[in-house]
Structure 1
Amino acid sequence: MKEKSKILIKFGERVREVRIEKGLSQEQLAHIADVHRTYIGMIERAEKNITLINIEKIAKALDINITELLK
């Protein structure tokens, strides 16, 4: 099995952190971001190499600046 990239792990942890702060479930976030419901879980578990387009969708759905999401 391929080792997960540190940046994907950090990004997934950050998405989970902000999502929980906002009181959203993974399914709610997926709906707002217009992505598949399982996709958010895969991002949070660092199982997907997310595209810039989807980073923007998730940032908008979380009502957070992309740079804040990438911290």
Structure 2
Amino acid sequence: MSDTQLTQQQRYRIYAPGKGNHGQREIADIIGCHPGTISRELRRNRGMKGYRPRQAHGLAIARRQDKARPRINGSV
């Protein structure tokens, strides 16, 4: 289990077992991450049509870029 961010490939791996009868713990074992990671990923990125890995990855990248932007103006 690593403390890295999920890759697009891992998001597709969350999606595939999610279509079956796999629980979040089983999906976490398949991917090799903590079950809480799966829970947060699904909660953050589940839309009206369910979990979509391509959309989830795009949202994650957008959140990462927003986080990297400086919040304080240089003239202060």
Q: Which has the higher strand share?
A: 2
- Asked which structure has the greater CA Rg, the reply is 2
Q: Which has the higher helix share?
A: 1
Q: Please, what TM-score do these two structures have when normalized by structure 1?
A: 0.39
Q: Please, what TM-score do these two structures have when normalized by structure 2?
A: 0.37
Which has the higher relative contact order, 1 or 2, with Cα contacts under 8 A spaced 6 or more apart? 1
